[in-house]
C-alpha cells in the first residue's frame, strides 16, 4: 500500500526528534562581524552522488566571486559543505551541525525530496533559510513559515509533462514503476490527469528499491500490455530495472527522469538495455548570460539542471542578505522575492552584477542560469522549460527544449 507524504513527513519529524533535542531560536546567530556562513547540503554519495559534487562546485564558485567583489555587507562569505549521502537520517545529522555548530544563515543545494522533508523542520524552527532542487509537491505545503523555496518545478508540473509526452509518442496505456518516494504518488496522479482527457489510462506500481531484481514487478506491470513505462526511480534501482524490462521483452516506450537515466547509467549497461529511452528534466537557461557566466566560473561546458539551480540558489541567498542589510535566514525570507522578481528591477545574472546594482541603489530582478527564478508565496518556482532527450547510439541526444 502506498504511504502518503504526510506519513513520510511525520517519520522525518520523529527521526529528527530522535537524533537531537529541539532547535532553539537563533537571535544573534549570523549578526556578528566575522565571516558570514552559508551551507551546501548536497549528495556527494548515495543515489544522488552523480550530481552533488557539481552542485557544491557551483555554490563555491558564487561564494568565491562574492568575496572577490568585497563580500556581503562588508563581511567575507564562508561556504560549509556537507554530504547528505542521499539519506534523510544522515542529512539531519549534517544539518544539525550546520545550524548549531557552524551557525549558517542558510542551507542550499538540497537535492532529494526525502532529504528536504527531513531537514526542513530543523530549518523553520531555527530560522535558517533552505533552498532545494527537490520536486515533491507537498514540500511547500509543510508549515515552513516561509523559510523554504525551491528552484525545481513541483511534481504537478513534472507529471503533466510526462503524461503529455507519453501521449505525443502514441501511448494510451501507461504504467509508472517507482520506489516509494515523497513524489511518487503526485507524479503518477498528474500523469493520469494529463492522459485521461485523451482516453489514456495510467497505473502506479511501487517496488522496493533495495531488491536485486524486479522481474516479478515487471511481469505484473506488463500484464495489462502497456504502451509506455515511466521509470520513476533513482540511478541504482533504474539500472536494474532497465535490464529486467529488456529480459521481459518490453518493446514499448520508456520514459525516465534524466537524473536516473544519465550518461553514467548508459555507460554501465549493455547498449541495447537503454537504447531508445526518453528522458525528461527541467532545462537550464542555455545560452543566457547567467548560464554562460556560471559555465565559465564553474569550469564546465554543459552545466546540468541541478548545478545551475545551485548556482542560482547561492546568488539569491547572498543578494537577499545584501538587499536586506542583515545576514540572517529571516532577512532572506523577507527579501528573496525583492531580488528575484522585482517589477522593473535591473536584470542581473551574477553576484558581481547584483552587488553592483544594489550598492548603486537599484532594485534588481535576478534572471538565473536555470531560468527566471520567480517564486510563489509558498516557495514554488512559477515556471521553467523542460529538456527532452533520447538515448541514441549510446549517447543522450537532445530532441527539444520547451
| Percent helix, strand and coil across the chain, each to the nearest 5 | 45, 20, 35
Question: Minimal CA–CA distance to 338: which of 372, 310, 366?
Answer: 366
**According to the model, what pLDDT value does residue 302 have?**
86
Question: Considering only the top CATH level, what class is 5-152+287-364?
Answer: alpha beta
Strands (E), 223-283: 228-231, 253-257, 278-282
Q: Per residue in 231-256, pLDDT tens?
A: 999 999 999 999 999 999 999 999 99
Domain ranges of the chain: 5-152+287-364, 155-284+384-401
Helix axes 88-100, 113-126, angle to 10 degrees: 30
Helix axes 305-324, 52-68, angle to 10 degrees: 30
Same fold? 5-152+287-364, 155-284+384-401 = yes
**According to the model, what pLDDT value does residue 13 have?**
45
Question: Considering only the top CATH level, what class is 155-284+384-401?
Answer: alpha beta
Q: How confident is the model at residue 14 (pLDDT cuts 50, 70, 90)?
A: very low
Rounded CA separation 326/74 (Å): 11
Q: Per residue in 299-329, pLDDT tens?
A: 988 899 999 999 999 999 999 999 999 999 9
Q: Per residue in 62-110, pLDDT tens?
A: 999 999 999 999 999 999 999 999 999 999 999 999 999 999 999 999 9
Over 60: is that where the pLDDT of 3 sits? Answer: no
Q: Are 367 and 349 in contact (CB under 8 A)?
A: yes
**According to the model, what pLDDT value does residue 383 have?**
86
Q: Per residue in 287-307, pLDDT tens?
A: 999 999 999 999 988 899 999
Over 60: is that where the pLDDT of 343 sits? Answer: yes
Continuous segment of H or E residues that includes residue 263: helix 263-268
Rounded CA separation 302/341 (Å): 26
**According to the model, what pLDDT value does residue 189 have?**
97
What's the DSSP call for residue 41? E
Amino acid at each position: 500500500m502506498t504511504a502518503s507524504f504526510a506519513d513520510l513527513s511525520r517519520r522525518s519529524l520523529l527521526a529528527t526528534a530522535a537524533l537531537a533535542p529541539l532547535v532553539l531560536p537563533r537571535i544573534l546567530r549570523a549578526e556578528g562581524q566575522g565571516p558570514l556562513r552559508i551551507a551546501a547540503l548536497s549528495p556527494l554519495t548515495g543515489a544522488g552522488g552523480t550530481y552533488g559534487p557539481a552542485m557544491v562546485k557551483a555554490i563555491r564558485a558564487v561564494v568565491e566571486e562574492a568575496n572577490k567583489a568585497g563580500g556581503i555587507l562588508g563581511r567575507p562569505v564562508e561556504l560549509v559543505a556537507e554530504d547528505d549521502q542521499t539519506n534523510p537520517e544522515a542529512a539531519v545529522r549534517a544539518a544539525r551541525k550546520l545550524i548549531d555548530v557552524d551557525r549558517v544563515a542558510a542551507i542550499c543545494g538540497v537535492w532529494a525530496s526525502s532529504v528536504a522533508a527531513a531537514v526542513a523542520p530543523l530549518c523553520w524552527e531555527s530560522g535558517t533559510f533552505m533552498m532545494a532542487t527537490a520536486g515533491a509537491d507537498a514540500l511547500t505545503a509543510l508549515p515552513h513559515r516561509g523559510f523554504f523555496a525551491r528552484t525545481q518545478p513541483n511534481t504537478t508540473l513534472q507529471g503533466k509533462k510526462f503524461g503529455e509526452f507519453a501521449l505525443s509518442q502514441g501511448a494510451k496505456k501507461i504504467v509508472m514503476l517507482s520506489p516509494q518516494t515523497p513524489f511518487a504518488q503526485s507524479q503518477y496522479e498528474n500523469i493520469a490527469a494529463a492522459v485521461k482527457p485523451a482516453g489514456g489510462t495510467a497505473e502506479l506500481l511501487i517496488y522496493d528499491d533495495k531488491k536485486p531484481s524486479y522481474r516479478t514487478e515487471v511481469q505484473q506491470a506488463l500484464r495489462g500490455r502497456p504502451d509506455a513505462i515511466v521509470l520513476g526511480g533513482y540511478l541504482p534501482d533504474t539500472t536494474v530495472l532497465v535490464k529486467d524490462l529488456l529480459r521481459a521483452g518490453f518493446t514499448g516506450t520508456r520514459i525516465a527522469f534524466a537524473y536516473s537515466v544519465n550518461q553514467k547509467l548508459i555507460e554501465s549497461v549493455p547498449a541495447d538495455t537503454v537504447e531508445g529511452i526518453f528522458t525528461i528534466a527541467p532545462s537550464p537557461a542555455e545560452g543566457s548570460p547567467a548560464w554562460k557566466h556560471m559555465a565559465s566560473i564553474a569550469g564546465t561546458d554543459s552545466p546540468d539542471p541541478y548545478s545551475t539551480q545551485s548556482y542560482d540558489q547561492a546568488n539569491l541567498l547572498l543578494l537577499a542578505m545584501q538587499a536586506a542589510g542583515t545576514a540572517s535566514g529571516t532577512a532572506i525570507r523577507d527579501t528573496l522575492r525583492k531580488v528575484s522578481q522585482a517589477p522593473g528591477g535591473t536584470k542581473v545574472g551574477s553576484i558581481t552584477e547584483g552587488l553592483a546594482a544594489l550598492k548603486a541603489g537599484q532594485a534588481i530582478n535576478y534572471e538565473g542560469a536555470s531560468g527566471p527564478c520567480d517564486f510563489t508565496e509558498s516557495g514554488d518556482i512559477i515556471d521553467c522549460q523542460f529538456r527532452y532527450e533520447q538515448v541514441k547510439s549510446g549517447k543522450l541526444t537532445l530532441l527539444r527544449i520547451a
